[in-house]
A = this chain, B = another copy of it.
Amino acid sequence: MKKQKIGIVGLGLMGGSLALALRESSDAFEFVGLDHNQAHCQEALELGLVDTIASDLEEIKRCDVIFLSIPVDSIIAISQELTGLDPKCTVIDLGSTKAKISESIPADIRPNFVTAHPMTGTEKFGPSAAHADLYRDKVVVLCDLEKSGQHQQELAKSLFTSIGMKLVYMDAKEHDRHAAFISHMPHAVSYSLANAVMRQEARESIVALAGGGFKDMSRIAKSSPNMWEDIFRQNKENLLEAIHSFQSELKKCQKMVENEEWEALNKWMEEANSLHDILD
């Protein structure tokens, strides 16, 4: 039986892990990689993430499935070049923002596209960060799915399900607003926390005291600036709204401490505790 060709554009944590996970799920696939970083291409081959490296985008365009696991601005740029695809070809982008991507896909290939956001990742990046379990038991948000062709919808659902993901459907604009609160603003907060400590004169003595709480909260401050600059740009308005909501809560806390309103502070902390009734 002829193997299905899967093109992976962007051989970092997300793309590399996806190839590993799909490879584990079935032996019916053959993987072709593309990355503008030649060292990453070499590494991806050596790590067995992909079978071959494409010579150019034209070769990728002949794949049955194409995953775009690159920064969100690059997804928009490359989708302008994905002309003349076979009607059965399925392009799935894994960007962390969705509205601008969903809108920018050229009309003639819009049915080929499925815009997806897997709610997973680590602060690590590059091919060596890839691992087969990154997607298992995690949520993938499929956005504006009615704009994708029937074949593409079914294939995307079946691929994500085969690697153990839970499917959630959402309008791209709603996704971006939610993602700002659950992911993008928390990144801004983690970067701020790291920088607040780094600005202190005694930073090394301070960091020597770091326990698990601080390590957890500053972990995503290790994330790739190039990737997150793009996300912040594409989701600017929602991000600013989420930062504002966060700031008003922290301001409340600050005021209660300043004014020694301990009972109110205790109640506010209890309210925060209740998040965990809805978070598993």
Which residues of A pack against B, CB within 8 Å? Answer: 119-122, 138-139, 141, 168, 170, 174, 177-179, 181-183, 185-200, 202-223, 225-226, 228-229, 232-233, 236, 239-240, 242-243, 245-250, 252-254, 257-258, 260, 262, 265-276, 278-279
Cβ–Cβ contact A196 & B270, under 8 A: no
The listed residue (B139, B226, B257) touching A232 by CB distance below 8 A is B257
Cβ–Cβ contact B262 & A195, under 8 A: no
Cβ–Cβ contact B213 & A220, under 8 A: yes
> Chain B residues near A217 (CB, 8 Å)?
186, 189-190, 216-217, 220
Cβ–Cβ contact B183 & A271, under 8 A: no
A240-B258, A243-B253, A247-B250 given. 4 additional CB < 8 A pairs?
A189-B250, A213-B219, A221-B273, A246-B250
* A-B interface, 4 closest residue pairs, ranked by CB to CB distance from nearest: A225-B269, A194-B272, A192-B249, A216-B216
> Chain B residues near A141 (CB, 8 Å)?
209
Nearest B residue to A254 by beta-carbon distance?
Answer: B243
Listed residue (A188, A228, A269) with the most chain B CB atoms within 10 angstroms of its CB: A269
Nearest B residue to A244 by beta-carbon distance?
Answer: B254
Q: Chain A binding site: helix, strand, loop or mixed by DSSP?
A: helix
Cβ–Cβ contact B242 & A196, under 8 A: yes
> Chain B residues near A229 (CB, 8 Å)?
262, 265-266, 269
Cβ–Cβ contact B178 & A218, under 8 A: no
Nearest B residue to A273 by beta-carbon distance?
Answer: B222
- Return A212 CB to nearest CB of chain B, in Å: 7
User: What is the CA–CA distance of A243 and B194 in the complex, to the nearest angstrom?
Assistant: 13
Cβ–Cβ contact B272 & A257, under 8 A: no
Cβ–Cβ contact A193 & B240, under 8 A: no
Nearest B residue to A237 by beta-carbon distance?
Answer: B257
The listed residue (B121, B168, B233, B247) touching A262 by CB distance below 8 A is B233
